[in-house]
Amino acid sequence: MGAADFTPAMAWFLLGAQVWVIFQLVPRELLGWRWTAAGLSLVYLLVPGFRLLEFLPIYRNIRAPFDFYQVTGSICVIGAVALAAGVLLEKVGRAFLRRGLAAAFVLLVAVDVAPYARPLFQERMSAAVWRDFLDAQEFLKTAPEPGRVYAFSGRYFYLMTPWLSGRPLAAEAFNSYLQQRGAAILQASAFLNDERMESYFRVAGVSYLLVDKTDPDTRPEMQAKLRGIFPVVFENENIALLGVKNPLGFGFLAQDFLQTGSAGPETAIAAIGGAEYNLAMIQTSGLASDEPGLRGKVVDGCIAASEGKVLEGGKAFSRVPRRSGGTYQKVEFEPAGETGWLVFNEAWHPDWIAMEGGERREVHRAMLAFSGVQTSGQSSVIFEFRQPWWYGVCVWTSLVGWAAVLLFLCLFFPRHRS
């Protein structure tokens, strides 16, 4: 959106240029080099490498395409540009002309990236911003509504919020590079309109929005929009705190729900839409049509009422208090008092387990992003993160590897100083 007219043509040109680079890199003396280059080009263009990475246990729940492309992928882009430039410069016969073109190329790149480097030469953040941030944290310490903080800021000092106020953050970073896939998709879908945004913050357990007023990433139009939806509960010159209406804390009871068999991105809109009508979307299968609380199903991203019924709103979500003394790996909720689905709005992960009254309960993905269990409402429910055995194996293997490298360096270099 808003791109210049030549952008699509340039994109197609660059796609073709990558294939040209592959053909240039394959040695001509190789037997059948054209077939080899063509095969490599097809693999490069058609094999979804990021999707293959997602089959690895460590990367399964990380948004590999976004994370690797935006962070690690930038290094690959730089390397590809350097290779292409090297291939082109080799065609220049005279050495002095080749060096001049190389210097001009480097200078062109430096000029191109200069705007991004400008903040490195600017003065550090004003001390007044930090003081105002600390004042906002003091307010959050004693603010009446329990729950998380969602920060609108591109400056990462707000990551100290949990340490300063005792409140967790709902998103790990401004661009959510490493956020769990389901949570990131639900969050992105929430900003499509105002109603969905309100509904998302409620079910995500966000009670306060922290707005960094003087940060360039928080544009005046966005700040005005947020102020039109959420009331201001605290404000100073640089920081504003907005309150979410009727937040649901760290967990809530949904007595009515929608069933889905998919955890795909297309269900995110349905999850938020259902939440607006007090219907939690639960990923499960094999439920009878007369299951208590079942109001409909989500099929291909659309909500369909149970056969012969009209889709109606459910009973209001009710906040379930969290008992004190928990950790980030173990959370205990008070008895809900009624049957239904207890939704724990921490980012869903398969290594969370749930116990109720000493018995294990099956954990389902709730609203694409969270965890949910069926509860009788008579006993407390405990969610605990239990990492699998191979986490420890990976850590110890890595430590042994580093120790072996250091030992090798200590033994090898004294004997070969030259």
Helix 73-89 to helix 95-117 angle, to the nearest 10 degrees? 160
Phi first, then psi: give them for residue 188, nearest 5 degrees: -65, -40
Q: Are 200 and 192 contacting, i.e. CB atoms less than 8 angstroms apart?
A: no
Q: In degrees to the nearest 10, what's the CA dihedral of 362, 366, 372, 373?
A: -50
Residues 6+ apart with CB under 8 A from 27: 33
**Structure confidence by residue, pLDDT tens digits, 16-61:** 888 998 999 899 999 999 999 999 999 888 887 766 766 776 566 5
- Tell me which residue of 129, 113, 39 sits closest to 81, measured CA to CA: 113
CA 396 – CA 151 distance, rounded (Å): 36
Backbone angles phi, psi at 402, to 5 degrees: -65, -40
Q: What is the pLDDT of residue 1?
A: 46
In terms of Cα–Cα distance, which of 360, 403, 361, 357 is closest to 380?
A: 357
At what angle are helices 181-190 and 267-276 packed, to 10 degrees? 60
* Three-class HEC string of 70-81: HHHHHHHHHHHH
CA-based nearest residue to 14, from 84, 76, 103? 84
- 258 contacts 296 by C-beta, under 8 angstroms: yes
Strand pairing class (330-333; 381-385): antiparallel
C-alpha–C-alpha distance, residues 341 and 278, integer Å: 12
The three-class DSSP label of residue 293 is: coil
Question: Would you say 403 and 395 are in contact if contact means Cβ atoms under 8 Å apart?
Answer: no
Alpha-carbon distance 332 to 415, whole Å? 59
The predicted-structure confidence for 191-232, as pLDDT tens digits, reads as follows 888 888 999 999 999 999 999 999 888 889 999 999 999 999
Residue 103 CA, chain-centre distance (Å), reads 40
The residues near 57 (Cβ < 8 Å, ≥ 6 apart) are: 390
Please give the single-letter amino acid code of residue 25.
Answer: L
Q: What burial letters (b/e) apply to 221-244, b meaning 16+ CB within 10 Å? A: eebeebeeebeebbbbebbbbbbb
In angstroms, the CA 272 to CA 196 distance is: 6
Cβ contact 380:285 at 8 Å: no
The DSSP letter of residue 218 is S
Please give the DSSP secondary-structure letter assigned to residue 341. E
Classify the C-alpha dihedral 400-405-407-408 as positive or negative: positive
Rounded CA gap, 394 and 95, in Å?
50
First to last CA, the chain: 59
Task: Tell me if 62 sits within 8 A of 181, measured CB to CB.
Answer: yes
pLDDT tens, 250-277?
A: 999 999 999 998 888 889 999 999 999 9
Count the neighbouring beta carbons within 10 Å of the beta carbon of residue 138: 12
Q: Report how far apart, in Å, the C-alpha atoms of 307 and of each of 290, 293, 296, 315 are.
A: 10, 14, 8, 20
Contacts of 172 (CB under 8 A, 6+ apart): 178, 179
Q: Answer yes or no: pTM beyond 0.85.
A: no
Q: Which residues of the chain have pLDDT under 50?
A: 1
Phi and psi of 71, rounded to 5°?
-105, -75
